[in-house]
A and B are shown apart, each in its own frame.
Chain A
């Protein structure tokens, strides 16, 4: 079985640009969460989606948005990129809202 897949693996963007990150959960998993991991720190929660509805949002500005599609895949969008948005973005899927999360390999975003 395929694990959680994220695309792209690496991305370089310029300040002010927009970026879309994509995530495909493990087959059968209905919950997708997004985390931001800045270098040297633990991941920070951004969003949780379950059955295509937003179930939680972390302390991130409105420039961050996400959605989940009928096939349970998800997109994370970030507008007006700042240098501080440079980080590893991790997607995790779970069969349910409150069970262990399985992570993808992440997307390394660099904003220059």
Chain B
């Protein structure tokens, strides 16, 4: 079974600074995607960034980038120039696409606070 570990229950960053959220996962699948979602107090899960496992190049989306280490099964999220609106719970979630069922497996999340 797939498992996801987010070892940082809470993180804090100063506005305009950079923060990195860590995630490790365990999967026997060879084909999968990896996602980071954020969940603000409004509770809607919002997609932050996506990485295809077959791609060696790390994904970047504006201030958000990932460090994907496939052999180590590590998928960290870096937020640059942090903004107050980045404060939220962040979830790492792999998605396998080779089987009949395609489900996201979520970690326990990291609560990010942004200090003004």
Q: Is A43 an interface residue (CB 8 A)?
A: yes
- Count of chain A residues near B, Cβ 8 A: 28
Q: How far is the CB of B68 from chain A (nearest CB, A)?
A: 16
Q: Is B106 an interface residue (CB 8 A)?
A: yes
Count: A-B pairs, CB below 8 Å: 68
Q: How far is the CB of B48 from chain A (nearest CB, A)?
A: 10
Q: Is B108 an interface residue (CB 8 A)?
A: yes
Expressed in whole angstroms, the Cα–Cα distance for A42 and B102 within the complex equals 17
Give the chain B neighbours of A92 by CB distance below 8 A: 45, 104
Q: Is B55 an interface residue (CB 8 A)?
A: no
Residues of A69-112 whose CB lies within 8 A of B: 88, 90, 92, 94, 97-106, 108
Give the chain A neighbours of B42 by CB distance below 8 A: 105
Known contacts A42-B91, A105-B44: does B100 contact A98 (CB below 8 Å)? no
Give the chain B neighbours of A94 by CB distance below 8 A: 102
A100 x B109 contact (CB < 8 A): no
Expressed in whole angstroms, the Cα–Cα distance for A48 and B96 within the complex equals 13
A56 x B106 contact (CB < 8 A): no
Offer 23 A-B interface pairs, CB within 8 angstroms, sorted by A. A41-B108, A41-B109, A42-B4, A42-B107, A42-B108, A44-B106, A45-B104, A48-B101, A48-B102, A56-B100, A56-B102, A56-B103, A58-B103, A92-B104, A98-B96, A99-B33, A100-B33, A100-B35, A100-B50, A101-B95, A101-B104, A103-B46, A105-B43
